[in-house]
Amino acid sequence: MIMMKYFLSGIICFAAIALQSCSGDCSQPTPQYCEVIDYDENFYQPVCGCDGETYTNVAVAECKYGILDHFPGECD
């Protein structure tokens, strides 16, 4: 019974941390490489940012909005 209590507490803490780190404003300073690349906002290869927004491509997410934490595809 005690082991189950710790297990459930651990799951709840992990979920709280995961939700906190992946929601809201997660933008970071614009990377230096963004100063030298010419990105096309119309090139569609979507990525889902840590803020839950879909961006048209990696360069737009990173260089225009500072979203460095993202994964391929549209957000749900």
Other C-beta atoms lying within 10 Å of the C-beta of residue 58 = 17
Instruction: Considering only residues 24 and 73, tell me which one the structure prediction assigns the higher pLDDT.
Output: 73
Write out pLDDT tens, residues 13-65: 334 334 444 445 788 877 888 887 778 889 999 999 999 999 999 999 999 99
Return the domain boundaries, the chain: 24-76
pTM of the model: 0.62
> pLDDT value at position 1?
52
CA distance 48 to 59: 12
The string of pLDDT tens digits covering residues 11-20 is: 443 343 344 4
Residue among 69, 58, 59, 76 at smallest CA distance from 22: 69
67: helix, strand or coil: coil
